[in-house]
Structure 1
Amino acid sequence: MAQKTSPEQPLPIRTVLQMVAGWIGKLGTIWVEGQITELTARGGTVFMTLRDPVANVSARVTCPRGVYEAAVPRPADGARVVMHVKPDFWVNRGSFAFTALEIRPVGVGELLARLERLRQVLAAEGLFAADRKRRLPFLPGTIGLICGRDSAAERDVLENARRRWPAVRFRVEEVAVQGPYAVSEVSDALSRLDADREVEVIVIARGGGSLEDLLPFSDEALVRAVAACRTPVVSAIGHEQDSPLLDLVADVRASTPTDAAKKVVPDVGEQLTLVRQLRDRGRRTVRGWLDRELAWLSSVRSRPSLADPVREIERQAEHVEQLRDRARRCLGGSLDRAEDSLEHLRARLVALSPAATLERGYAIVQRPGGEVVRKAAEVAEGEELTVRLPDDRISVRVTQGAG
């Protein structure tokens, strides 16, 4: 086409559209899956929009009424279906649409199988891991609530939360919680609340319903959006037996919207009771400690050393005096015994002393060197000797030796 046209030789628009229609007509038929929205019937034709449940993509579909009514069960607005379609291009309007040749509603068993495969994929990526879940704040300043418009879930959360803590604040985002627009509206509301720094926790709440009604809360796009949030998310979808994939990726799962209010907001009455119990426990602990310390102090004060400290000093003084007297007696006795022993020794020395012998009239003859002469034969004539007397000594010369 580009080689055969120019500004001077353009092709008519009808020719271009006919060429596009011919090219699209060669595509043949194909099986597609999606979610039905905007379902209307006019005459013998049913018009609908087939929407991709994950991406914001849709296409128009026309269906003969006989083909539509042949589907069992007959699909309604929001139903998940598989269609055998043929792409068509309407030249007169320049629009594209699919023509449905067969419609097959997606059964519950097949939906469950698809959800299980998706659950396994997300679990393998770690989106459901316990270590990535965050703790809820004890008392959030502002709670973000995503719920249906004028829904019972909204009333349950608001009334129970305010009953537990009257000062709690909410930022409510009312969205579609089922149908073809649920995923996009919930995701947008989640993004707005997560961007608000005042919101400290987000609650996604919805009442019970069928598997198809709760299907948006198992959508992969919504699950990944919740996993990417910086704000802790509480899932309160359906009843206890309902378990969409949102419950697995959320930081906290609540069995019902009422249970979500209990998990997010503390009960002021319970907290006051807890404070009172802790206060009483603290008082008992302090009182017990004081009683033990006072008993110990009384016991210490009742001891003699503290009851009459002067008496203890006097007792110790008496003990010192006794020890001093005992020491004096011991020392006096020791000195007396030593004096007696000394007298005895002195008497013995006097008795054994040569001086005592000299006092009796004896004398000691010594040579000049001090040697005592014991025998007369030991001296020679003319030898000078010293005679020691008791009071003095005299020198003598031997005139005659021993004969």
Structure 2
Amino acid sequence: MVFVADLFTNKQIRDEQPLPPKPLTVSELSKKIDDALQGRIGRIDVVGQINSPKLGNHWYFTLADEEAKIDCAMWASRVTTIESGEFEGGKPKQGDLVIIRGTLGHYAKYGKTQMYVERMKSAGDEKGSLQQAFDALVLELRDKGWFSEEHKKALPAYPRKIAVITSATSAAVRDVIETARQRWTGVELLVVNVPVQGNAAVASIIKALEKVDANAKSMQIDAIIVTRGGGSLEELWSFNDRGVVEAAFRCETPIVAAIGHESDTSIIELVADLRASTPTQAAMVLIPDSDELLQMVDHFNLRLTSGVIRAIEHGQSKIKHTQATLTSVCSAKLHQKNTNVASLSESLTARRPHALLQKRQKTALTLSSALQTYIKQRIALSTSKIDTLQGKLDAIDPKVVLQRGFSLTEDASGKLIRSGKDVADGQKIRTVLAHGTIESKVECTT
């Protein structure tokens, strides 16, 4: 005994005949479904909200209400039957409420039921209920100032750990993980698995936001990414829910939100500290690029090295100038003293006071000797100080380091090689010694 369920009345039709011995192919089953849909329902009128419209020559869109949706197709020959002026700009927009007439069919290639639209007209000037609710909440929260810059928190420059609130099996979380792996392996991602649509989504997202924020300090979480892939307004609605939006606004941890595609906007994105167009961009704005950081370090290292070299050269020049000045001054003073002594000697000799002359000569000789000794001591002391300073400068001079037996190795562009990871097999390198350079090729690295 076999009972076959009626697809549309849920009645059971009793069939006393045995099942046919040959099973149906998938194509045959699809044909029977298509025949059943068209034969039992025929042409029908349906009212609903336009979602995800793709309006070229042929129109493809989803017709939805708060609880269900169905894919629709309207061929170009049918599009031309729409009266001019029926829709602003000649085409319906996202969120427009319309009445369509057509037939149901089964699209065998993708195994889905869709409606083939023959007629379409506007259901009135009002937008769909979801769009109305969206606009009302946006207006309310904007008036409260929830979207203003004063409420936006600064994002961490170098986050250690990021919580990602999304479905753990989604393409969105895979995009975030892959982007993080490419940019900086040092960042840790904590994936908080939540349903992103359906009855349980709102409560789960609120709980996740509150729990992550409450434990952010103890778990060292520096930022939160809230994300999911694209979808219709209904599918994205959890992120427009007042409770979810309020939970995000109350978070003390910075939030980056990326909901749907770039053309989609959810209210949680408006209250978040930053809106990203895609999950990948959300990861990019939070996670620094390690390659860029290394380039910055190399740049600062080059500037520091250049500054040290300039300081050494300036110090050496100043020492040489001081040494020359000191030598000149001491020589001039010594010459002046000798001149004075000679003048005094001549004066005394001219007056012929023999005893006084001898005494003065003796005194003059003593003073001259003492002065020469003092000047020599001062010159020796100054020379010692100069030699000490010169020794300190020589100790940090890269050329002196090379003379001790060390060497510097650089690539063809002149960039210093610090590790075997910086070169590849077969690469040409140059080793700088105290006297000359050596050109070589890398055979292997370890």
TM-score, scaled relative to structure 2: 0.48
Where does 1:213-292 land on structure 2 (aligned, <5 Å)? 213-292=235-314
Contact between 1:194 and 1:230, CA under 8 Å: does it hold in 2? yes
Q: Distance in 1 between matches of 2:278 and 2:124?
A: 30
Q: How big is the shift at 1:302? A: 2.8
Question: What residue number does 1:204 align with?
Answer: 226
Kept in 2: contact 1:234–1:254 (CA 8 A):
yes
Following the alignment from structure 2 to structure 1, what is the Cα–Cα distance between the partners of residues 196 and 124? 21
Tell me the SS of whatever aligns to 1:205.
strand
Find the partner of 2:186 among 167, 182, 197: 167
| Aligned pairs (5 A) from 1:111-190 | 111-190=130-209
Rounded Cα–Cα distance in structure 2 between residues aligned with 1:127 and 1:290:
57
In structure 1, C-alpha distance between the alignment counterparts of 2:230 and 2:156, rounded to whole Å: 27
Pairing 1:318-397 to 2, within 5 Å after superposition: 318=338, 320-321=340-341
1:192 to 178, 202, 211: 211
- Distance in 2 (CA, whole Å) between partners of 1:312 and 1:240 is 83
Contact in 2 for aligned 1:239/1:256 (Cα 8 Å)? yes
Q: Distance in 1 between matches of 2:139 and 2:341?
A: 97
1:314 aligns with 2:334: yes
> Any idea what the Cα deviations from partners look like across 1:46-69, whole Å, max 9, x if unmatched?
xxxxxxxxxxxxxxxxxxxx9xx8
Partner letter of residue 266 of structure 1? P
Q: Against the structure 1 CA distance between its residues 298 and 190, is the aligned structure 2 distance closer, same or farther, given a 3 Å change threshold?
A: same
| Pairwise CA RMSD | 3.7
Amino acid of the residue matched to residue 72 of structure 1? V
Letter of the 2:223 counterpart: V
Aligned counterpart in structure 2 of residue 297 of structure 1, from 319, 323, 344: 319
Matches of 1:43 and 1:294, distance apart in 2: 100
Distance 1:131 1:287, change over 3 A: farther
| Structure 1 residue matching 2:295: 3-state secondary structure | helix
Alpha-carbon distance in 2 for matches of 1:186, 1:268: 32
Q: Secondary structure at the match of 1:276?
A: helix
Q: Counterparts of 2:335 and 2:232 in 1: how far apart (Å)?
A: 97
Cα pair distance change 1:213/1:319, threshold 3 Å: farther
CA deviations 1:125-153 (Å, max 9, x no partner) are: 22222122222223322211111241110
Contact 1:157 1:261 in 2 (8 A): yes
Report the Cα distance in structure 1 between the residues aligned to 2:244 and 2:346, rounded to whole angstroms.
102
Q: Aligned equivalents of 1:293 and 1:237: distance in 2?
A: 60
Aligned pairs (5 A) from 1:33-72 = 43=10, 72=47
Deviates more, 1:317-326 or 1:120-129: 317-326
Displacement of 1:70 in angstroms is 6.7
CA shift for structure 1 position 41: 8.2
SS for the counterpart of 1:302 is helix
Structure 1 gap segments, 5+ residues each: 1-39, 45-65, 83-103, 329-403
Partner of 1:367: none
Percent identical? 33
CA separation of 1:223 and 1:76: change in aligned 2, threshold 3 A = closer
The aligned amino acid for 1:185 is S
State the distance in 2 between where 1:263 and 1:299 align.
54
Greater gyration radius:
1
8 Å Cα contact 1:208/1:238 also seen in 2? yes
Could you tell which deviates more after superposition, 171-180 or 157-166?
A: 171-180
Distance 1:106 1:225 in 2: 34
Residue number in structure 1 paired with 2:111: none
2:172 counterpart SS class: helix
Give the deviation of 1:206 after TM superposition: 1.0
Deviation at 1:172, TM superposition (A): 1.0
Question: Contact 1:206 / 1:237 at 8 angstroms: preserved in 2?
Answer: yes
Q: Give how far 1:320 is off.
A: 4.5
